Structure 1
Amino acid sequence: MSAPTSSPTVTRVRGPQKLGPLTPLVGEWEGDAGLDLSYHNQDDETSHTSYFEKAAFTPIPIQENGQQVLWGLRYSMTAWRHGEEAMDPFHDEIGFLLWDKVRGQVIRNVVFGRGIAILAGSGARPEDRVLHFDATPGDPAYGILQNRYLLERAEIRDFTSTFTFHDDGTFGYTSDLLLRLAATGVEMHHTDENTLHRVRRYHPSAELG
């Protein structure tokens, strides 16, 4: 009879976990398996770009909006094309990830260096291992803003993104921008995905391996 197969070790986080489902993100991360699918203006074609990425998620003070209480993280994600790690990054974003425990909502407030601002979110539970962040232009709560040039040349019609926490301690994300491209006259999905591993824990004693 064969020996029983051991189950994967799940990383468990100690403490009050006031960040709810955002708790596993605290720290600094790197990922070398990034893949971007986008339209390249100079080549007039849609193609893939592989990339290396760094990310950091740092707790912020409790935010109080009247009766609303939000716990959150300040974050940044920066990516370099493979072979250009010593050069300027090709993608950079900063923002906040917020947890509204009472309403059961996760919120992603993100600004891209291209002149795009998105407030995205969805329902979530404290124990969720998959988080969704969705936004639509014109939505009064979870909406999208972009500069006038992009609105004319690459209008964003929809934004969806997912964070997934894996049993091995890594986390992966997918991101999808539905664009109406003036150059081609059609809509296309600009997608990004990567898996990152933690390289620095801000509170080393807070977790059990």
Structure 2
Amino acid sequence: MSTSISEPTIDIADIRGPQKLGPLTPLVGDWEGDVGIDLSYHNDDDVTGPTSYFEKATFTPIPVQENGQQVLWGLNYKMTAWRHGEEAMDPFHDEIGFLLWDKANGQIIRNVVFGRGIAILAGSSAQPGDRVLHFDATPGDPSYGVLQNRYLMQRAEIRAFTSTFTIIDDETFSYTSDLLLRLAAIGQDMHHTDQNTLRRVRRFHPGSGN
């Protein structure tokens, strides 16, 4: 009498490649989010208040980067936001940069430049499967620090930067961002915060033009 042996059921969603991008892997693609909230000081009205916004983001893999023995895999990215009601006008926020994965040292790095004359190199420890990614920077830190133009140093000095990306599922991620500022206009510190949830609108695959 023969005994049949059933083959194990394999869910293709559980089969992954090498994932050289580590915890950055789920971000590849084009994204849009329409529930953004920016809390900031409004110079024209001399008040602090929220602004809602629509946002587009693109994360594209880059060639491997090598610094001697250090190997970095990563993405270049762009995030642009428009206030609701001003989608056909100039964006009120625009940033470009790189997200990098240093597997050997267990570090994720966010190298970002804002059009306002601000440059930040932020990072933290991470593991390949992490779904919550932290990017922190402190002015004066020789590794993860902050630079800003002279006017902003006098009027809105950055005291700290913290940001978190949360991978909710394969098609959704959210982020929070907090700039601690010393505002000359009000003579005290305030938290300039941003948050949004974005959904993937396009994946990058061979033959897709990317």
TM-score by length of 1: 0.91
Whole-angstrom CA distance in 1 between matches of 2:189 and 2:93 = 22
> What's the CA shift for 1:15?
1.9
Deviation at 1:169, TM superposition (A): 2.5
In the alignment, is the contact (CA less than 8 A) between 2:172 and 2:199 conserved in 1?
yes
Mapping of residues 198-209 of structure 1, within 5 Å: 198-203=200-205
Which residue of the other structure, out of 134, 144, 155, is the alignment partner of 2:146?
Answer: 144
- The match for 1:132 among 134, 137, 151 is 134
| Aligned residue identity for 2:180 | L
Structure 2: state its 5+ residue gaps. 1-12
User: Secondary structure at 1:61's aligned position in 2?
Assistant: strand
Instruction: Please tell me the root mean square deviation across aligned C-alpha atoms, in Å.
Output: 1.4
d(CA) in 1 for partners of 2:97, 2:175: 16
Query: Structure 2 vs 1, CA of residues 131 and 97 (structure 1 numbering), >3 Å: closer, same or farther?
Result: same
Q: Contact 2:26/2:170 (CA < 8 Å) preserved in 1?
A: no
Structure 1 residues not aligned, in runs of 5+: 1-10
Higher relative contact order (CA 8 A, sep 6+): 1
Assess if the C-alpha contact under 8 Å between 1:13 and 1:24 holds in 2: no
Q: How many percent identity over aligned positions?
A: 82
- Count of residue pairs the alignment pairs up: 195
Aligned pairs (5 A) from 1:151-166? 151-166=153-168
Structure showing greater radius of gyration is 2
**Cα deviation 1:3-59 (Å, max 9, x = unaligned):** xxxxxxxx7673210000000000000000000000000000000000000000000
Q: Which residue of 2 aligns with 1:187?
A: 189
Between the aligned partners of 2:51 and 2:78, the Cα distance in structure 1 is 20
Structure 1 counterpart of 2:47, one-letter code: E
Match of 1:118, SS? Answer: strand
Amino acid at match of 1:199: V
For residues 83 and 105 of structure 2, what CA distance do their matches in structure 1 show? Answer: 39
Match of residue 7 from structure 2: none
- Please name the residue that 2:75 is paired with: 73
Which residue of structure 2 aligns with residue 5 of structure 1?
none
Aligned residue in 2 for 1:90: 92
Aligned residue in 2 for 1:17:
19
- Cα displacement string for residues 175-198 of structure 1 (whole angstroms, at most 9, x for unaligned residues): 000000000000000000000000
AA matched with 2:84: H
